[in-house]
Amino acid sequence: MRWLRLQWFSVSAGLKLWLDEPLGHLFNALVLAIALAMPWTIAQGLSAIVPSMDRWVGDPEISLYFKPDATLDSVKSAAAQLKRDFDLDSVNIVTPEQAMERLRTQSQTPDLAQALPENPLPYTVVVVLEVDATTDTQAIEAKIAQWQNFTGVEHVQYDAQWVRRLQSVLNGTQIIAMALAVLIAGMVLVVTFNTVRLQLIRNQAEVHVLKSLGATDTEVGRPTLWWSVSLALVAFGLAYAVVSGAMGLADDAAGTFIREFDRDFRFEQPSGITALGLILVWVVLVMVGAWASVKSTVLRIH
Amino acid sequence: MIQFKNVTLKYGTHAALKGVNFQLPKGSFTLLEGHSGAGKSSILRLLATFEQPSSGDILVGKSSIARLNRRERAHYRRNVGYTGMDVELLHNRSCFDNVALPLRVVGLSDTDIQSRVKAALARVGLSHTDRMLPSELSGGQQLRLQIARAVVNRPALVLADEPTAQLDDESAARVVGLLEEFNRAGVTIIVATHEAHRFNRVTHRLKLGEGAVLPAPADLSHNGGREAGVQTFSKDFLNKAYGA
């Protein structure tokens, strides 16, 4: 009971700090909110742009063109071996007839297909690779060199540059996301440390009196810790409003244009799960900054 | 029992106390006398653990308060009431909240806090001020409020630094009366003062000069200390020596 009473006293004393200087504390919350909202907005924007780029670019295809005299059986056998050896989910066999039909229906020059006396197109095996930031492009190229030696294979077509470019984009966004996370953490720790330090210095008369009356350093600092939690929650609310607003505006402005190329594109509001996860990390970060500040500042107030 | 054993307190190169020895029994009422800078407040600050001795030892009961860690020091302070310039009133809190602070620190229930703060305020004649801010009170009333805060936690030891300074005779008499009343109830009281004549219920006096306890005249002193070099003063001695 005593422990609960002490905690309740700390919580209420922490919340009462808002009454001492509401506008000043609101500005403190605003500073924290900006520190959170800036990288959060960028990360939220990237979370919409990256999948869209991925959809737009598509996964790279590798086409194995067989010699004109290759039979369907030899192609099927090569396809089965491919699937087995390289652990592929699926390989797609395109017959010369299917290839000609595509040429007729999807090509810009259907007349060319009509003009051909006979079907010159070979059997083709099409493999779709799933590329992400960790894909080893050198390993892919080594595989392709092996495929080149398959019986009946005349040519393997693979756009290595395209894959590398896509991979560097994915790598880049991953690095940006990590840099943003580190930036958020660093800014939050510094801003919170300083805000709490100033708050304690402003209240040093009270800190001094409490210590003189027998409060331990932990007990003296506890209201400030609770105040910092409330500050973090207010700042998070403000940042959430900023990010939601920014995503809404961006979707109205840029989203309409981007949807010309990608129908599924949306600058979305932060999801509930994202917000919940972020709020936990955010509060913990603020508390760490506040705790470090309380530890060092309370020690110096005699 | 309170015992100072060869206590020295230095601020940089200046020694505020130089090898001070004395002991005071539980329940005593002691006056620390001497001119400004003699070391009176330093003794109170050491007993309140606001300072730590540069050398020597201070025993309160059987514990050495010179060697307490921060947490132990905080818990020790809960048993000490202090009034003086070192522990000001909080002027943004009501008189009630100021007096309630020591009880909040120890986590008493709201019901207990209500009853004990009201009793403490009544005891110092400030029942009507509970919702007022300290800045609305006179100097004498603020001092009584400090006393209420110092005793609300029922401490075993009360330290008062110049409790009657700048008070008119009536207010000073009231403050002295309060301290004597607590002493009658068994609380050990140590007062640093320039105005010894205001106090009647004194059991011990320590006269300080230049950071040391001045020796009492040989024909009047009564060395009741159990250890060599420890000076105590009987009431008879004090009456003869200082006419108290």
Q: Could you report the per-residue pLDDT of A206-217, keeping only the tens digit for each?
A: 888 888 888 888
Average pLDDT over residues A124-145: 75
Mean pLDDT estimate for chain A: 82
Confidence of residue A299 (pLDDT cuts 50, 70, 90): confident
Greater model confidence, A149 or A246: A246
Q: Could you report the per-residue pLDDT of B75-99, keeping only the tens digit for each?
A: 999 989 998 876 688 988 899 999 9
CB B157 within 8 A of CB B47: yes
Q: Which residues in chain B have Cβ-Cβ distances shorter than 8 Å to A2?
A: 106-107
Residues linked to residue B24 through DSSP beta bridges, in sequence order: B2
Confidence of residue A55 (pLDDT cuts 50, 70, 90): low
Q: Give the per-residue pLDDT at B216.
A: 52
Q: Give the per-residue pLDDT at A241.
A: 93
Contact: B107, A211; criterion CB under 8 Å: no
Instruction: Give the residue carrying structure tokens 């756009």.
Output: A159
* Complex ipTM value: 0.79
User: CB distance from B150 to chain A under 8 Å?
Assistant: no
Structural tokens at position B34:
């001497």
Query: Which candidate, A118, A72, A128, places its Cα nearest to that of A95?
Result: A72
CB B161 within 8 A of CB B31: no
Contact: A213, B78; criterion CB under 8 Å: yes
Q: Give the per-residue pLDDT at A239.
A: 93
Contact: A210, B101; criterion CB under 8 Å: yes
Q: Give the per-residue pLDDT at A159.
A: 66
Contact: A209, B92; criterion CB under 8 Å: no
Structural tokens at position A301:
């107030």
Which residue blocks in A108-216 are alpha helix, DSSP H?
Answer: 110-115, 137-147, 160-202, 204-212
Q: Compute the count of residue pairs across chains A and B with CB atoms less than 8 Å apart.
A: 61
| Residue A168, CA atoms < 13 Å, CB-side half-sphere | 5
Four-CA torsion B148, B153, B158, B164, nearest 10 degrees: -10
User: CB distance from B134 to chain A under 8 Å?
Assistant: no
Long-range contacts for A135-138 (Cβ within 8 Å, ≥24 apart)?
Answer: A135/A163, A135/A167, A137/A163, A137/A164, A137/A167
Q: Could you report the per-residue pLDDT of A229-243, keeping only the tens digit for each?
A: 999 999 999 999 999
Which pTM was predicted?
0.66
CB A269 within 8 A of CB A258: no
For residue B9, the surrounding DSSP H or E stretch is: strand B2-11
Confidence of residue A280 (pLDDT cuts 50, 70, 90): very high
User: CB distance from A2 to chain B under 8 Å?
Assistant: yes
Q: Give the per-residue pLDDT at A44.
A: 84
Mean pLDDT per 10-residue run, chain B (244 residues)? 90 86 91 87 92 91 86 90 82 92 87 91 88 90 89 90 85 87 90 90 86 54 32 40 34
Q: Give the per-residue pLDDT at A107.
A: 66
Q: Give the per-residue pLDDT at B29.
A: 93
Q: Give the per-residue pLDDT at B235.
A: 46
Q: DSSP states of B11-56 as a string?
A: ETTEEEEEEEEEEE-TT-EEEEE-STTSSHHHHHHHHTTSS--SEE
Q: Which residues in chain B have Cβ-Cβ distances shorter than 8 Å to A214?
A: 74-80, 102, 105-106, 153
Q: Which residues in chain A have Cβ-Cβ distances shorter than 8 Å to B80?
A: 214
Nearest to B102 among A3, A20, A214 (CB): A214
Confidence of residue A252 (pLDDT cuts 50, 70, 90): confident
Average pLDDT over residues A171-183: 80
Percent of chain A predicted with pLDDT > 90: 12
Q: Give the per-residue pLDDT at A243.
A: 92
Greater model confidence, B156 or A301: B156
Q: Which residues in chain B have Cβ-Cβ distances shorter than 8 Å to A6?
A: 107
How many helices (H) does chain A have, and how many strands (E)? 11, 4
